[in-house]
Each structure stands twice: as structure tokens, then as C-alpha cells.
Amino acid sequence: MRWRYFLILQAIIFLLIAGLVYKHHDKAKLIKTPPVELAKWYKPENKRQVWLHNMFKLRREMQAVEFYAHQQDAEHLQAWSAQLSEHYLKIAEMVPAWQNKLAINTMEDLQLASARQDFSSVLIQHKALQQSCDSCHDDYQALTALTYRTPDFSKIEITPELSFIEHMDTLTRQVNQIKISAQDGNKSLALSSLASLNDEMITLGETCVDCHKKDRKPYPNEVMKKTLISLKNSLESGTAKQQGRDLGTLAVLACARCHGTHRIAYGAKKHLVKEVSLSSLIKH
């Protein structure tokens, strides 16, 4: 009798939890986060992007194996399949947590088929291996890139007293102050805010080159500088329509384009790597 009540209680609890999950299914998404061991194969913990280069090798080797199997070129097929096996097994060496995700038997069957010059079997095993790779990529590829290839702006400083995030907030406030002052007819404040914005953009550009070392692009660039001059002229003697157009153009050139690359990814990364407490989960 007691067991019956116990089972009924468990069923009620299960249904309650299931109901809560279903009720909030449109407000939460389940994702699989990559193992923390991956960090040591990415910059800055590693001098090179070791994990990425191993993935590039595997992609190239998969293509070569498929190509030479179709061509029935045994010599090149065996050479490339050997490289494929080496770099495939290296995944488990670098990230032991993913050992059980590897299709080891499929890889071994592919090697045997290659050695026997059984080209049809090679293609069958190749397809199975590709499906295994795609499954893992579906779960982890985008999240891994977001976690380990997105810059962390929270650690960047403009000066010892001013963080990068605070500096960006200052720039936003200056842009808005220009708009507010121009709209309310306060020309002097609009122009002084524009001058401050210009100075702070130059400061930002000096910070950007710390990361953009190889393909350095000046910030503000010549197009932005011309837009700043045009905005200054329109604030001094132009119409409200001209002022709005110049300020809007500057916002796209100086803000939106970089935000499209960095801000969206960084914002998503912050939520992804943020540690969540049990109380937060319960509250959510």
C-alpha cells in the first residue's frame, strides 16, 4: 500500500515538473556547452589556434578521402586516410570528454576498406563518419566559436581608471547629446559634444589596433572623418533634416558596423559563459 502512494507521489511530481517545463518552453532554450578543456587549444591560453587547425586538417582530409575513393586511386587514398585517422583520434587526446563521441569503429572500418582497396566500402564508412561529425558540429560548433573566438571586452582598459565598456557608454551618451542639443536648438552644446565625440573616437581607435594587428584599419577612417566634418557644418548652419542625416550616417559608419561584428557576439558570449547559481535557476 505504501509503495502505491509513493509511486503516485512520484508521478505527481513528474507531471508537475513536466508541466512547468512545458509552460516555459517558449522562454528558455536548452544548449550543450563545450568542455572547458577546449580553452587550452585556443588563444589566448595557447599561442596558436590548435583546435581550429586540427579541424581544418580533418575537413581537408575528409574531402581528399572521398575524392580518391571516387577516383579509385588506392595510393593517395591510403595516404590521406592515414592522416585522417591520426587527426581524428587527436580529438580525444585534446578533449578526453569527447572520447565517447568519436566513431572509432567507423574510422577503423574506413582504414580497413582503404587498405583492401574496397572503394565502395570506403565511401559508405566516409558517409557514416561525416554524419557523426555533423551531429557534433550541430551541437557544439557555433557555441564553441562563440565561447573561444569572441573577444572579451570586459578585460580591456582605455586607461587604468576607464574600462572599455565605460568608454563605449560615454560614446553613446555623446551621440545622444548631439541629437538632443541639436533638436532643442542648443548649438554650442551640440558642437562641444561633437568635438568630444571626435576625441573619444580617436582614443577608441588607438585601442582597436591592439587586437587588429595584421589588417590595421584606421578608426575613425577617412569616410568617418568627412562625415564628422559634414555633421559639424550642418550643426552650425544646416537644417534639422541635414543634421539628422549626417548623424545617422555617422552612427552607421562609426557604431553599427562594428557592433554588428563584435557587440552582438560579445553580448551572447557573456550570457553563455556566465555562471548560474541554483537560486537563479529556481527563480527563472
pLDDT digit string, tens, across residues 247-258: 999 999 998 888
Contacts 24+ apart (CB under 8 A), 241-249: 243/182, 244/179, 247/175, 247/178, 247/179, 247/182
Q: Are 234 and 272 in contact (CB under 8 A)?
A: no
**Between 41 and 261, the higher pLDDT residue:** 41
At residue 72 the predicted structure's pLDDT band, cuts being 50, 70 and 90, is very high
Distance CA 269, CA 284 (A): 19
- Coil, helix or strand for 116? coil
For the entire predicted model, the pTM comes to 0.71
pLDDT (tens digit per residue) in 84-140: 999 999 999 999 999 999 999 999 999 999 999 999 999 999 999 999 999 999 999
Q: Do 171 and 201 contact (CB within 8 A), yes or no? A: yes
Give the residue, 266 or 200, on which the prediction is more confident.
200
Give the pLDDT score at 154.
81
Average pLDDT over residues 42-70: 94
Q: From start to end of 100-193, where are the E strands? A: 157-159, 162-163
Other C-beta atoms lying within 10 Å of the C-beta of residue 220: 19
Per the CB < 8 A criterion, the answer to whether 163 and 156 are in contact is: yes
pLDDT digits (tens, 9 = 90+) for 149-176: 888 888 888 888 889 889 999 999 999 9
What backbone phi and psi angles, to 5 degrees, belong to 162? -130, 120
Report the phi/psi class of residue 118: left, alpha or beta, with left for phi > 0 and alpha for psi in -120 to 50. beta
Q: State the architecture of 36-148 in CATH terms.
A: Up-down Bundle (1.20)
CB under 8 Å to 279, separation ≥6 — which residues? none
Of 223, 228, 220, give the one whose Cα is nearest residue 246.
Answer: 228
Percent of the chain with pLDDT over 70: 89
